[in-house]
């Protein structure tokens, strides 16, 4: 069995006249347990709670982050990175909240869908009755990131709960007796070993951190020989980013590091490396810092210096478009910086796309692989709202995002005379229109079974009314033309309609629906054309737009006594499926007319050739029984529903979209985000009702993901076409998605860095100065010098 170790202070309490807080030695879990069972420790804790405060300084303590320190000296400069435990401790300093925090922590620990499943290691009360929750640090997270993320998971405000002392690597925790321990996992003090240990360390190194998640110590500058005085530009010490760029260019040039030190070859080798783009991706000073390492004996040679000077003065064009190789290298190199920056700023991964997503979206469509495109869609949250979790439970993983979006039109159709006030004070009903766009044979029928079971109760009622209608028609047709005929029966509410119905039939069904939603599911989007009116009409698109707009009016006026003459408010939810190419063609004439922004889009990623066939679960009676409470809650809802959390979230998401639009300078993204946020808000309200009018973090995470996914689909499938349709001035490089240019830059950057990011995003460098001026004016960045800037972390 593996040894379970921890750094423990064994002197602090041995001699109460001395302060030995700087001492910590390695102890086994058995030795720690023996200490926890000591009677004197139990009495000391009782004395402290009785008011004998100074006794707290006599208590033993452990250092949760390390199993050992060099020379047993508990200090940052004596840290042994390889002794990192991948564990930390969250303090609950408010005694009134301890029990609630303990219970919530155990809930997420048992939740198979939680990112923190089986990662709570120990819970114990402190000497003053406060709480300590020991947790496993998720792969790639730092100590601070893990504590903040866990507080967020259990519903506490990390800023109120934690302070900087909680994150120090050499931190210590006073321990109390075994009787104060309320929970211990079987993984308590269990060491991380083997492949998992290597993966965790690699995850830190990929972020430019040490193997224990701390920032790497920067090497000291070596003395510069006198010969270097002729180098006109300062040398920037190489780091992980610049070394990666240089090595990637060397690999692209089909060279290895040894040729850089071979007499007679190094000059040509460096020329090849510069030719594939090193001078476009690195500033001259950065390149010199890399050469100082890669060509340590020769980087100051005159011929090397002259070659570098020539490339930067004669062959470096800041306006030159980057090659696909250069884009990929820049994307990965900036991600190394961005990840570190995001970690320091505490950004949640659930709130933003990664840099790689944005770089792929910036890449021309012709250069993108389908698999790469599919892999960049925002990942679905692991924890889902209960009704979504149930409706996707029988669905193979590859189809779950599509099903999670496609269920809302059918769910919304159950609401009757229910309204929600959006953040602009406009009342909306639960209008959802969903289009699934995926390749041929992708499995678009995956949405059918969940929808069938959601609609079961409506179809049962419709069947009765269809029978009444059929009997009335039979009676009317059996009588002569001059005979009195019974009027059309009252209360013929038939919600599910045929997708190929004519316009008059649609108006009639809507008029008889008594403010219920109509619903249909179309196997192909062009089935909507039955509503187009005349052969060249486009009323189907008008219906799509009106259905989303509150208080709309639609209908027809005819002279004939047998004709339908009605004015109705369209309440119409529907699902449709199509291939990507067909869907793009179908909406090609109305790109800027509104339907696209009002529809919720989803897709199915392309499977690898020869992949195993996805297998569905069984939709049985038990499934229907579990679904019934959610449907009943929707059917019982009435009037105006107020969900403060959904309202607050809609405001927050609107602000996030607005900020991202400013940073990305994408007008298309901004326009699409307006109604996409309304759709997301309506989903939040429907989930709130399904959850028995209770809000949960899983609802917020799902709604945020749903918004990001919807916008990603729209920008991927239609972004370039909409931009081209809007273009009235000079030709611009088409974009497939928004790019937050500021997030792609390091915390401190120069104008040259901004030029590179604009190039990578398909923009020229002429707008760099104006962009930086706007950012400074809005407080996004601070100007340090004429050519250098720093992100404003307080903004």
pLDDT tens string 79-136 = 998 899 999 999 999 999 999 999 999 999 998 777 898 999 999 999 999 999 999 9
Q: Which of 307-316, 523-532, 603-612, 699-708 has the lowest mean pLDDT?
A: 307-316
600 pLDDT band, cuts 50/70/90, is very high
pLDDT band at 220 (very low <50, low <70, confident <90, very high): very low
Identify the H or E element spanning 103.
Answer: helix 95-110
Residue 660's pLDDT is: 78
With 60 as the cut, is the pLDDT of residue 740 above it?
A: yes
- Asked whether the beta carbons of 493 and 513 are under 8 A apart, the reply is yes
CA 362 to chain centre: 18
Q: Is the pLDDT of residue 649 over 90?
A: yes
Q: Is the pLDDT confidence value at 282 over 50?
A: yes
Crossing angle between the packed helical segments 667-690 and 644-664, to the nearest 10 degrees: 160
Residue found under tokens 């303090």: 91
Those residues whose C-beta lies under 8 Å from the C-beta of residue 395, and which sit 6 or more positions away, are 403, 446, 450, 616, 617
In this prediction, residue 734 carries a pLDDT of: 43
Mean pLDDT (whole number) for 372-400? 84
Spell 1-37 as b/e; 16+ CB within 10 A means b.
eeebbbbbbebbbeeeeeeeebbbebbeeeebeebbe
The stretch 193-218 carries a mean pLDDT of 81
Asked if 420 contacts 685 with a C-beta cutoff of 8 angstroms, the reply is yes
pLDDT given for residue 218 in this prediction: 44
C-alpha 368, offset from chain centre:
21
Q: Any idea which residue has 């049985």 for tokens?
A: 620
- pLDDT, residue 482, reads 54
Question: Per-residue pLDDT averaged across 375-404, rounded?
Answer: 90
**Among 515, 480, 468, which Cα is nearest to 495's?**
515
| Average pLDDT of span 39-65 | 91
- State the pLDDT at residue 480: 60
Q: Where are the domains positioned within the chain? A: 5-206, 226-316
Distances (CA, A) of 319 to 312, 345, 448, 765, 769: 13, 32, 51, 6, 14
| pTM of the shown model | 0.54
DSSP 219: P
| 748-750, strands of its sheet edge to edge | 748-750, 788-791, 781-783
Whether residue 182 is predicted with pLDDT greater than 80 in this model: the reply is yes
What percentage of the chain exceeds 90 in pLDDT? 42
pLDDT higher than 90, residue 238: no
Residues pairing with 790 in the sheet: 748, 782
344: pLDDT strictly greater than 80: no
Task: Please tell me the predicted confidence (pLDDT) of residue 408.
Answer: 97
Average pLDDT over residues 534-561: 74
Mean pLDDT of 28-35: 94
Question: Across residues 737-750, what is the average pLDDT?
Answer: 81
CA proximity to 266, closest of 249, 290, 291 = 291
81: Cα within 13 Å, side-chain hemisphere: 15
Percentage of the chain beyond pLDDT 70 is 84
The H or E element that residue 285 is part of is helix 284-294
Specify the range with the lowest mean pLDDT, choosing from 371-375, 481-485, 543-547: 371-375
Strand pairing class (181-184; 120-125): antiparallel
Structure tokens given for 775: 């950012």
| 418-421 and 639-640 beta bridge pairing | parallel
Q: Is the pLDDT of residue 363 over 70?
A: no
Instruction: Choose from 349-358, 425-434, 496-505, 551-560 the range with maximum mean pLDDT.
Output: 425-434
Q: How far apart are alpha carbons 506 and 180 in whole angstroms?
A: 69
What pLDDT is stored for residue 354 in this prediction?
A: 38
How confident is the model at residue 364, as a pLDDT?
36
Question: 538 or 353: which carries more pLDDT confidence?
Answer: 538
| pLDDT at residue 12, as a whole number | 54
Q: Which residue has the higher pLDDT, 650 or 204?
A: 650
Average pLDDT of the chain to the nearest whole number: 83
What per-residue confidence (pLDDT) applies to 163? Answer: 82
| CA distance to 187, 274, 360, 552, 734, per residue, from 548 (Å) | 52, 55, 32, 8, 29
- Residue tagged 């922590």 (tokens): 105
Q: From CA 511, how far away is CA 425, in angstroms rounded?
A: 27
Confidence of residue 17 (pLDDT cuts 50, 70, 90): low
- Closest Cα partner for 702 from 353, 350, 381? 381
Decide if pLDDT at 446 tops 90.
yes
Pair type for strands 572-578 and 433-437: parallel
pLDDT score of 417: 93
pLDDT in the model for residue 225: 40
């Amino acid at each position: 069995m593996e040894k379970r170790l921890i750094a423990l202070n064994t002197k602090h309490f041995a001699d109460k006249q001395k302060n030995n807080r700087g001492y910590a030695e390695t102890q086994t879990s058995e030795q720690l347990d023996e200490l926890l069972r000591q009677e004197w420790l139990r009495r000391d804790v009782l004395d402290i709670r009785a008011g004998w405060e100074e006794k707290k300084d006599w208590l033993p303590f452990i250092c949760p982050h390390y199993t050992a320190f060099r020379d047993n000296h508990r200090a940052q400069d004596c840290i042994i990175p390889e002794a990192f435990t991948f564990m930390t401790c969250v303090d609950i300093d408010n005694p009134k909240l301890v029990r609630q925090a303990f219970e919530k922590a155990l809930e997420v620990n048992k939740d198979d869908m939680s990112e923190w499943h089986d990662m709570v290691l120990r819970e114990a009360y402190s000497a003053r009755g406060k709480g300590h929750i020991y947790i496993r640090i998720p792969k790639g997270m730092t100590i601070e990131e893990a504590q903040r993320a866990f507080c967020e998971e259990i519903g506490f405000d990390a800023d109120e709960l934690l302070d900087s002392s909680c994150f120090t690597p050499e931190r210590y925790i006073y321990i109390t007796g075994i009787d104060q321990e309320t929970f211990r996992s079987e993984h308590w003090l269990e060491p991380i070993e083997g492949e998992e240990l290597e993966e965790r360390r690699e995850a830190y190194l990929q972020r430019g951190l040490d193997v224990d998640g701390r920032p790497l110590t920067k090497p000291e500058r070596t003395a510069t020989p006198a010969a270097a005085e002729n180098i006109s530009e300062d040398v920037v010490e190489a780091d992980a980013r610049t070394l990666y760029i240089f090595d990637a260019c060397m690999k692209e040039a089909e060279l290895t590091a040894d040729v850089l030190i071979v007499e007679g070859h190094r000059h040509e080798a460096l020329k090849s490396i510069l030719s594939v783009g090193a001078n476009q991706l690195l500033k001259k000073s950065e390149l010199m810092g890399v050469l100082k390492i890669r060509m340590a004996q020769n980087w100051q040679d005159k011929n090397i210096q002259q070659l570098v000077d020539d490339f930067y003065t004669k062959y470096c064009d800041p306006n030159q478009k980057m090659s696909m190789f250069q884009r990929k290298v820049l994307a990965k190199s900036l991600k190394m910086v961005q990840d570190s920056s995001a970690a320091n700023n505490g950004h949640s991964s659930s709130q933003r796309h990664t840099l790689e997503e944005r770089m792929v979206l910036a890449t021309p469509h012709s250069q993108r692989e389908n698999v790469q495109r599919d892999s960049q869609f925002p990942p679905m949250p692991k924890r889902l709202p209960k009704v979504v979790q149930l409706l996707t439970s029988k669905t193979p993983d590859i189809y779950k995002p599509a099903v999670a979006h496609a269920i809302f039109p059918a769910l919304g159709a159950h609401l009757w005379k229910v309204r929600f006030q959006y953040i602009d004070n406009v009342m909306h009903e639960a209008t959802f229109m969903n289009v699934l766009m995926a390749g041929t044979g992708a499995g678009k029928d995956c949405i059918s079974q969940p929808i069938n079971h959601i609609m079961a109760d409506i179809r049962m009622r419709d069947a009765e009314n269809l029978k009444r209608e059929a009997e009335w028609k039979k009676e009317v047709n059996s009588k002569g033309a001059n005979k009195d005929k019974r009027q059309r029966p009252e209360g013929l509410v038939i919600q599910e309609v045929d997708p190929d119905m004519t316009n008059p039939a649609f108006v009639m069904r809507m008029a008889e629906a008594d403010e219920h939603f109509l619903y249909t599911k179309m196997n192909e989007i062009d089935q909507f054309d039955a509503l187009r009116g005349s052969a060249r009409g486009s009323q189907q698109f008008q219906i799509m737009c009106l259905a989303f707009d509150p208080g709309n009016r639609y209908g027809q006026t005819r002279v004939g006594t047998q004709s339908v003459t009605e004015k109705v408010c369209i309440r119409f939810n529907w699902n449709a499926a199509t291939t990507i190419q067909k869907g793009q063609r179908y909406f090609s004439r109305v790109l800027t007319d509104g339907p696209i922004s009002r529809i919720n889009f989803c897709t199915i990623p392309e499977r690898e050739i020869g992949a195993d066939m996805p297998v569905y679960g069984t939709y049985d009676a038990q499934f229907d029984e579990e679904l019934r409470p959610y449907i009943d809650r929707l059917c019982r809802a009435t009037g105006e529903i107020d969900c403060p959390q959904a309202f607050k979230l809609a405001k927050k998401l609107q602000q996030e979209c607005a900020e991202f639009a400013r940073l990305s300078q994408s007008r298309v993204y901004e326009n699409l985000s307006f109604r996409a946020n309304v759709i997301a808000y309506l989903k939040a309200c429907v989930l709130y009702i399904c959850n028995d009018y209770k809000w949960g973090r899983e609802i917020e995470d799902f709604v945020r993901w749903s918004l990001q996914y919807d916008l990603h689909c729209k920008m991927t499938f239609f972004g370039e076409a909409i931009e081209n349709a809007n273009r009235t001035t000079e030709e611009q490089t088409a974009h497939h998605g928004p790019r937050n240019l500021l997030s792609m830059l390091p915390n401190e950057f120069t104008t040259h860095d901004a030029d590179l990011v604009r190039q990578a995003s398909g923009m020229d460098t002429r707008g760099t100065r104006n962009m930086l001026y706007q950012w400074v004016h809005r407080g996004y960045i601070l100007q340090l010098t004429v050519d250098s800037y720093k992100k404003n972390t307080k903004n």
